[in-house]
Every structure is written in C-alpha cells, then in structure tokens.
C-alpha cells in the first residue's frame, strides 16, 4: 500500500478545537466531494501537554493526516481529482500552508 503522511500546522489565529472542527466538518467533506475516499483516510491530532511528547517545543505540527491507496495509479488519479483550486482556498482558511510537509511511504506492517 502506498501512503501519504502530511504534517499540518493550524493557523496561529485558530484554536486547536476550531482547527479540528473545521478540518473534520468542512475540509474532509470538500475532499470527499472531489474524489473517492482513499483506502485509508485518517487524521492523527497531536495531544498537547502530554508527558509522552517530551520535546513538544520541537513539534511544529498539529495533525498527521494519513492517506493510503492500493497502488501508484490510484494515488495519481486521486491527486489529480483533488488538484482543484477550491482545496487551496479552503486550506488557507485553517492551515499554515507554508509549514505543510508531506512524505510518501510504503507500509511494511508487522502486526495489525
């Protein structure tokens, strides 16, 4: 499975709760209106103030979005479908787009 992990930072003028609310209830529906849902589409929100985040001052993102597709062709088709100006306009409403980072990874699960 081919996966994309995106490390996203909320705009400084938006609270964490407002960020989550907008992402889940406005942005995700927009994406799903433009393209079929990937095999995997998850948002992993950072838990601030948790002892497990020992170097929290170095964590410069608020959510890791995980998307997965069966193969590169399906991924390419999905990327084409969401390469719509409405996505960029919407992202500017809640993301610090200059701080967005993304990587393609290949899963090799041991369990689960």
Contact 48, 86 (CB under 8 A): no
Q: Looking at residue 95, what DSSP letter applies?
A: B
Distance CA(42)–CA(8), nearest Å, equals 13
Per-residue pLDDT of 62-74, as tens digits, reads: 999 999 999 999 9
Judged on CB neighbours under 10 Å (0-12, 13-18, 19+), 38 is buried
Is the pTM higher than 0.85? The answer reads: yes
Judge whether residue 111 has pLDDT over 70.
yes
pLDDT of residue 39: 96
């Amino acid at each position: 499975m081919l996966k994309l992990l995106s490390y996203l930072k909320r705009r400084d003028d938006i609270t964490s709760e407002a960020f989550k609310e907008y992402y889940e209830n406005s942005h995700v529906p927009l994406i799903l209106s433009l393209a079929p849902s990937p095999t995997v589409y998850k948002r992993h929100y950072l838990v601030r103030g948790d002892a497990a985040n020992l170097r929290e001052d170095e964590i410069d993102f608020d959510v890791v979005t995980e998307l997965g597709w069966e193969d590169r062709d399906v991924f390419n088709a999905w990327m084409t479908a969401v390469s719509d100006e409405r996505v960029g306009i919407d992202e500017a409403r809640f993301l610090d787009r200059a701080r967005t980072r993304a990587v393609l990874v290949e899963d090799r699960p041991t369990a689960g």
